[in-house]
Structure 1
Amino acid sequence: MSDGAPAIAVRGLTKRFGARTVVDSVDLEVQPGRICGFLGPNGSGKTTTLRMICGLLIPDAGEGEVLGLDLKTQRHKIKQQIGYMTQKFGLFGDLTIRENLEFIARVYRLDRKRERVDAALARLGLESRADQLADKLSGGWKQRLALAAAVLHEPRILLLDEPTAGVDPKARREFWDQIHTLAREEGMTVLVSTHYMDEAERCHEIAYIAYGVMLARGTTGEVIAGSGLHALLGEGPDADRYASAIEAQPGVAMAAPFGTSLHVCGLDPAALRAAVAPWADRIVFSETEPSLEDVFIHLMRHAPDHSVLESA
C-alpha cells in the first residue's frame, strides 16, 4: 500500500444469493487510522460487505483493494492482516481466557507467544481473570476477550460486526475507548457495524447502507446536513402526547417524543412550521438540529426493502 492510499477502497461491490441481491454496487473508501461506522437496518448487507472485505466471501461483481492488495486475487494475504470480531462470541467456552489467546497465537503461528498473550491480557484488563473459563464470563468480559483475540496478531485493519450488542453502557464505553486507542496509537483502521447512534457519533465517519444500497457517506455532520432535514423541538405540558397527530400533518416526515418534549422533522422548514401551528397555543416550538437518529429513521423509511419485493 503506497503512502496516502486508502486502507479500504472498494468499487461496485456486489453479492447475490440466488435471485436476491444482498449488496448492490457498494463503493466504500476508508483511510488508514480512521474509524468508520457502518449503519443500516437488519438485513441490509452490512455483514456480507464486511465478509467480502476480509476475504471470506468472493464478490459477484465489483473490484477493490484492501491494504493495497487485490480483493479477488489476494484474499489470503488480506486475511493475514485483518482482525475480524463477529456478532456471536466465537471462542472456546471450555478454555480459559489465557488458553483461548494461546490457541489464537498458535493458529497465527506467532513468535513470542507468551509475551504477546501477556501484553493482550494487560492491554484489555484481563489479567485478573486470565484463568477463568470463557463460558463463565459476562457479556462485557466476553467482548474484551473477543477483541483481544481479534488484535493479537497485530492486524492493520479491524472489522467489528455489531460488537456491543447486549452489552451494558459502561462496558460499551470502555470498549470504544479501546478502539480509539488502537486507531490513535497503532494506526489501526476500523470498520464497525452498529445500531447504536451514540456509537456511530464516536466514529470519525459513517456509511449508511439500506437493503444493499449505500445511501449516505461522510462525517456525522456531513450526513445530517446532506439529509435536507429540518427539526423543531416542542416543549410544553404533555407535548409528547401529540406526536401521532402532528406526524400525520402534511410537511412532517416524523414526530417523536423525547421524554416530555417532542422532536418534529421535515424537509421544508416553512411547511414544518405550518404543520405545528395548530398546537402553538399549548406547545412552544423552537428550531433545533436534526439528530443522527432522525436521519437514520428518515432514510430507512424511504429505502425500498428489496428482500420483501423479491420474495413476494
Structure 2
Amino acid sequence: MTEAGAESNIAIEASGLTKFFGAKKVVDNLSMRVERGHIQGFLGPNGSGKTTTIRMLCGLLTPDAGEGRCLGYDIRTQQEEIKRRVGYMTQGFSLYRDLTIRENLLFVARIYGLEDPEGATRAALERLGLTSRADQLAGELSGGWKQRLSLGACVLPSPSLLLLDEPTAGVDPKARRDFWDEIHQLATQGLTVLVSTHYMDEAERCHEIAYIAEGRLLATGTSEEIIAEAGLSTWVVTGEGLDALEARLKITPGVDMVARFGAALHVGGRDAAAMEAVVRRYADPAHRWSRDAATLEDVFIDLMTRKRVEQ
C-alpha cells in the first residue's frame, strides 16, 4: 500500500495545531515534523496536551485551528486513510481481557482483513515471544506482557507509523528495556514511531525529542541539541542541610534551576559567570560543589521553571 506523498521523507508535518475542550485551550499553536524511519520522543508533564496532539495526528480528533499531514494525508479531510495506516497504542490496555492472547491477535487480524489471519497471528506470537502463552487470558497477564501484546496487535497489520501513548508506564525496568529494543528493531525496518514518555532514559533513546507544556512546544531537536541550546552551567551540591540551601538558592539571582536528585542538588544557570558567583557565595565546609554536564532532565526542569515565571 503506497501512501500519498510516499516520495517525501516526512511522516508527520503539522503547523499551528490548536484544540479547545470547552473554554480550555489544550493544544496551543503546535508545529512539529517527524522524519520517516525515525523515533520521535514526545515529552511533557501530565495534562500538557500530548495525548490530544497524538489523537489529532492520527485522525481521531479534528483540530480547531492549524493544519497537518500524516503519511502524506491531510489530518482534516483524509482521516480514514490515516487510520488504516497507523498503529495507535493507548495508555490503558485496550484489548479484550476475557480473550486469550491468540484470540485477541486473531481478532485484530480479521478486523484489518489480512489475507491469512491465522498465519499472521502465528507469526506475531513467534516474533513477540508469546507462543508459549498463546492460550492465556489477556486479563491475567502482567503489565509487561500486556504491553508486549498491545504492541503486537498494533504492528500486526503492518502500519507505516506507530503512535505510542505512554506505553511503558507502570512496567518494570527489564520490560521497558525489552520494549525499547523491539521499537528500535521496528525502526530499522522503516517504521516511524512517535512515542510519549515521562522517562528521561527513554527520551535519550529517541532520534529527536519534542517537549511540550500546557499545549505549547517548548523545545525540539536531538537530546544533544536541546541540552546545548539551553546553555545551562550546571553544578552538583552534596552535604548537610540541603533543604535549607535549596530554599535559599531558589530565590538567588543567577540561579535558573534547582532540583533535588537523591542526596544531591542540581543547580544551574544560563549565565556561567553569575553561577560562578553563586558557587563562591555559598561555598562552605558543609557543602561540596562540583561542576557537571547538564542533563536532559536539568534542561526540562529549567524550561518548566521559566514557563511558570513567564505566567
TM-score normalised by length of structure 1: 0.93
Give structure 1 regions of 4+ aligned residues with deviation exceeding 6 angstroms: none
Residue number among 148, 152, 155 corresponding to 1:148 in the alignment: 152
Percent identity over the alignment? 58
Q: Distance in 2 between matches of 1:239 and 1:174?
A: 40
Q: In structure 2, the residue corresponding to 1:7 is in which secondary structure?
A: strand
Letter in 1 for 2:111: V
State yes or no: 1:35 paired with 2:39: yes
Secondary structure at 2:159 match in 1: coil
Deviation readout 1:1-59 (Å, 9 max, x if unpaired) = 24343011111111111222111111110001100000111111100000000000011
Question: Is the 2:257–2:305 contact (alpha carbons within 8 Å) kept by the matching residues of 1?
Answer: no
Structure 1 CA distance, aligned partners of 2:260 and 2:165?
30
Query: Displacement, 1:261?
Result: 3.4
Cα RMSD, aligned residues only = 1.9
Say which SS state the counterpart of residue 303 (structure 1) adopts: helix
Q: Partner residue of 1:170?
A: 174
Residue of structure 1 in register with 2:78 after alignment: 74
Q: Name the amino acid aligned to 1:29.
A: R
Q: 1:194 aligns with which of 192, 197, 201?
A: 197
For 1:270 and 1:262, locate their aligned partners in 2 and report how far apart those are by CA, in whole Å: 19
Equivalent residue runs for 1:218-229 within 5 Å: 218-229=221-232
- Provide the aligned length of Structure 1 versus Structure 2: 305
Is 2:119 the counterpart of 1:115? yes
Q: Deviations over 1:247-270 (max 9, x none)?
A: 332211233343433321111111
In structure 2, C-alpha distance between the alignment counterparts of 1:279 and 1:59, rounded to whole Å: 50
User: SS of 2:10's equivalent?
Assistant: coil
Residue identity matched to 1:274: A
Q: Which of 64, 85, 96 is matched with 1:60 structurally?
A: 64
Change (3 A) 1:303 1:29: same
Structure 1 residue 305: deviation in Å? Answer: 11
Answer whether contact 1:239 1:260 (CA < 8 A) is retained. Answer: no
Q: Aligned partners of 1:136, 1:2: CA distance in 2, in Å?
A: 41
Match of 2:220 in 1: 217
Give the alignment partner of residue 95 of structure 2, picking from 91, 98, 104: 91
Report how far residue 150 of structure 1 moved.
Answer: 0.7
User: Using a 3 Å threshold, how does the CA distance of structure 1 residues 15 and 287 change in structure 2: closer, same or farther?
Assistant: same
Q: How many Å separate the matches in 2 of 1:135 and 1:288?
A: 46
Q: Deviations over 1:206-241 (max 9, x none)?
A: 001111111111000111112232201234x43755
CA contact (8 A) 1:240 1:259 kept: no
Q: Deviations over 1:253-288 (max 9, x none)?
A: 233343433321111111112122233232343322
Q: What is the match of residue 238 of structure 1?
A: 240
The within-5 A match list for 1:268-287 is 268-282=271-285, 283-287=287-291
- Indicate conservation of the 8 Å contact 1:85/1:160, yes or no: yes
Structure 1 segments unaligned to the other structure (5+ residues):
none
Match of 1:160 among 134, 159, 164: 164
TM-score, scaled relative to structure 2: 0.93
2:297 to 278, 293, 296: 293
Distance change in 2, residues 1:95/1:43 (3 Å)? same
How far did 1:243 drift? 3.0
Consecutive unaligned residues of structure 2, counting only runs of 5 or more, are none
> Match of 1:64, SS?
strand
